[in-house]
Amino acid sequence: MKEREKIIVSGLVVLMLISWLGFPFHVSPRFAGSLWGGVLGVSGALLMLVPLAYMAVKRIKPMKQYVTKYVTMRTLLSWHIYAGVAGPILVVIHSGHKYESPLGIALIALTLIVVLSGFVGRYLMQQFSTEIREKKTMLQQLNTTYESVKSELASSPAQAAAIRPYAGFFSRLAASLFLHDDSQPTASTMTSPTTLLRLAEAITDVEYAISTHEHFKRWFSKWLKLHIVISIVLYVLMSLHVWAAIYFGLRWFE
């Protein structure tokens, strides 16, 4: 998610939460059935179908091949994100803050959960991917420097002998107390035993960070699957709500 896009979507999510939290100050039992309430409800429902269309295009290969001839998946993802937040805002306003029926309460609750889980999941997944990519680049640079320093130390028997006693785990922890460390690095100190040990520690830290980020990324990939399941349940309840509105609200036309 680009920085500008993230700021806009974050603002929309905050607006949705503010709209939902307005029920202690404003309740309009008849607004949902009014003209403007109906317009907002229908508009919000149509916008909430855009993420469903995106999921279908993403997972149905023939449809994806056809649609991507005209629209890129990145553009479709942007539509998915904006419509997935703007639609719920209109739906919350459409409710008039009248949370009485179990179906209406379940719809509002699932709408908030779907939006928040999708927003947080996408943001964190991208953050983890960026962190992993940057740390892998850093790890490659550290490994290159480590191998260079190691080769130069191997050509000096005295320095190689100085670092050999610190090959163990606990001895490496105490290495900084016994090995000389100049405050002003020079060409000689850059290839010192202390430099090699510090590089080894840095490589270990970066490898551990990559492993941790990959673990969280795998966990959040499961969270996004849960987000899809909750979205499907939301669409089922929304269909029931639309049917109920038509059956109980429009049958007087007969």
Q: What is the pLDDT of residue 58?
A: 86
CB 74 within 8 A of CB 105: no
Fill in the DSSP letter of residue 27. Answer: -
CA distances from 6 to 122, 123, 233 (A): 10, 8, 26
CA distance 25 to 47: 27
Q: Sorting pLDDT into bands at 50, 70 and 90, what band is 186? A: very low
Query: Does residue 17 register a pLDDT over 80?
Result: yes
**CB 82 within 8 Å of CB 119:** no
Residue 210 C-alpha from the chain's centroid: 17
pTM of the model: 0.65
Q: State the pLDDT at residue 172.
A: 53
CB 65: neighbour CB atoms within 10 A? 10
- Judged by average pLDDT, the poorest of 5-19, 134-148, 157-171 is 157-171
Buried b (16+ CB within 10 A) or exposed e, 171-185: eeeebeeebeeeeee
Higher pLDDT among residues 172 and 71, named by residue? 71
The pLDDT of 161-170, averaged and rounded, is 54
pLDDT at 2: 67
Confidence band for 192, pLDDT divided at 50, 70 and 90: low
Query: What is the maximum alpha-carbon separation in the chain?
Result: 100
Tell me the residue type at 234: L
6 neighbors 123 (Cβ within 8 angstroms):
yes
How many angstroms separate the CA atoms of 184 and 167, rounded?
26
- Read off the pLDDT of residues 25-84 as tens digits, 9 standing for 90 and up: 777 777 877 888 888 888 999 999 998 888 888 888 889 888 888 888 888 888 888 998
Q: Average pLDDT of the chain? A: 78
Helix, strand, or coil (residue 223): helix
The answer to whether the beta carbons of residues 54 and 76 sit under 8 Å apart is yes
In sequence order, the 6+-apart residues with CB closer than 8 A to the CB of 180 are 192, 194
